[in-house]
Structures are given as structure tokens and as C-alpha cells.
Amino acid sequence: MTQLGEQLRETYLSSDSTRRRELTRQRHDLVRSLVRVACDRAAGGRRVTPATTERLTETLDAALVDPAAAQLLRSGQLTSALRRVGFGVVDENGDPVGFAPIGPRVVRRVAPPRKSPTSTTTRRLPAKAGHSPVDHTLKQRRAGQRKRRDEAQADYTLAAAEHEQAGHVLDAHQHRIADLEADLVRLNDQLEQTRQTLREARKQTRRLERAFHQAARNAAAVRKRFDTEEQRLTAME
């Protein structure tokens, strides 16, 4: 289950929709299989209600798409069912669970603190009686460079936050697409099963119609024979 979850999450970051649909089908098959095994093992000592089965299905589904949920499930310390929503995982009460998001994270680099001009480690030029035009120009350039650096740092921080938020939105959207694709696969399967049931029902209808017509012919033949015997009996009397 862990390996399938990792492979499925990798497809969210790629454009391989065919592989994603294949893994999504495997995901639903695996969840159904695990739920069936759990219900079979619990049936001997405890009644498994439909609500319990539904919560177990939601928990396994959340563990397949969220690595932190999978880790908590493997720990054996899960005290409440889990359910995946658009932007994360919640418990059965609907409260958010403190799991790390699946979306890509942005590692922010913090610039080292600027040393104070009064620091003893700051290099000082030899004191002079006055300031030359060169010193004044250099000071202005340094001030301008510091301003540009601070502006770039602020822009980077904002861009990193926007990137992280966009990653969360993209992750939720990809999960939504995967769910819709899984629903499409499930509905197609149900449609094919319904068509097969309809074909069998039509075959059965044709068999019953043939049997009905045969029974009608038999009844007519018996009625004819009865009328003949009745006429013969009347003639004898």
C-alpha cells in the first residue's frame, strides 16, 4: 500500500494521465481488498456495520494519498477514522489532522544577519581628516546595493509563499482529478455490469416467451382433445 501510494503521488507531479488512471484503479482495488480482509477477520468476533466499513475505506484511502496518514496508520496508534478532503486529511469529527501537505515545499533561505556598523568585527578605513568624492560615491553604491538586496529578499519571500500556496492548490486539484477518473472507471464498470445483466434478462425473457407460447399450444391441444372426447361421450348417451 505504501509503494502504491508513493507511485500514485509521483504521477500527480507528472503529466502521465494513463499511468495515473491505472494506479487509481489499483488503489481502489487494493482498498476494497484490504477492507474485505479486515471484515472477514473481524466477522468471527465482532459484527462489522456498514458505517464501520465506510470509515475503514476512507481511512485506507487517506493513507494511500497522504504519507503522514500512512505513517500514522502503520504506527498502530490510530484512535479515529481518517477522511481525505480537498486540502488534507481530517478525522471522523471533521477536525483537521496535523499532517504535512503532499504538495511541494519551498525551502526558504534566510540571508545571514547584517552586521552592525558598530560591531568590532566591521572593517574600518583609516580615519582621515575629510571624505573624498570616491568615498562618498562608494557609500552611495553600497546603500543602493543594500536596498536592492532587501527588495529582492522581500520579493523572494513573497514568491516562495505564492509558490507553496500554488503547490497546495495544484495538489488538491490533482487529487480531485484522480477521484473523478476513479469515479469514471467505477461507473464504466457498473455500466458494463448493468449491460451484462440486461443482456441476461433479455435472454431469460426470450426463453420465458418461448415457454409461454409452448404452454399455450399444449393447452390448446389438450382442450381440443377434451372437446373431442366430450363429443364422443355425448354421442354414446
Q: How far apart are the first and last CA of the chain?
A: 89
CB-CB contact of 5 with 70 (8 Å): yes
Whether 118 maps to a domain, the answer reads no
Q: What is the 3-state secondary structure (H, E, C) of 129-156?
A: CCCCHHHHHHHHHHHHHHHHHHHHHHHH
pLDDT score, position 182: 85
| The three three-digit cell numbers of residue 6, written as one number | 508513493
pLDDT score, position 206: 95
Which residue stretches of 13-94 are H helix?
Answer: 17-42, 50-65, 67-75
Whether 38 maps to a domain, the answer reads yes
Whether 64 maps to a domain, the answer reads yes
Whether 121 maps to a domain, the answer reads no
| The three three-digit cell numbers of residue 89, written as one number | 486529511
Residues belonging to the chain:
237
Whether 237 maps to a domain, the answer reads no
CB-CB contact of 83 with 58 (8 Å): yes
Q: pTM of this prediction?
A: 0.36
Rounded CA-CA distance 133/136 in Å is 5
Whether 59 maps to a domain, the answer reads yes
pLDDT score, position 140: 86
- Distances in Å between the alpha carbon of 84 and those of 44, 175, 181, 235? 30, 10, 16, 88
pLDDT score, position 10: 76
Whether 153 maps to a domain, the answer reads no
pLDDT score, position 208: 95
Domain count of the fold of the chain: 1
Whether 30 maps to a domain, the answer reads yes
| The three three-digit cell numbers of residue 115, written as one number | 552586521
Residue 132 DSSP symbol: -
Domain range enclosing 81: 2-91
pLDDT score, position 87: 42
Q: What is the mean pLDDT of each run of 10 residues along the chain (237 residues)?
A: 76 73 82 82 70 82 77 76 58 48 38 48 47 77 87 85 82 83 88 93 95 94 92 84
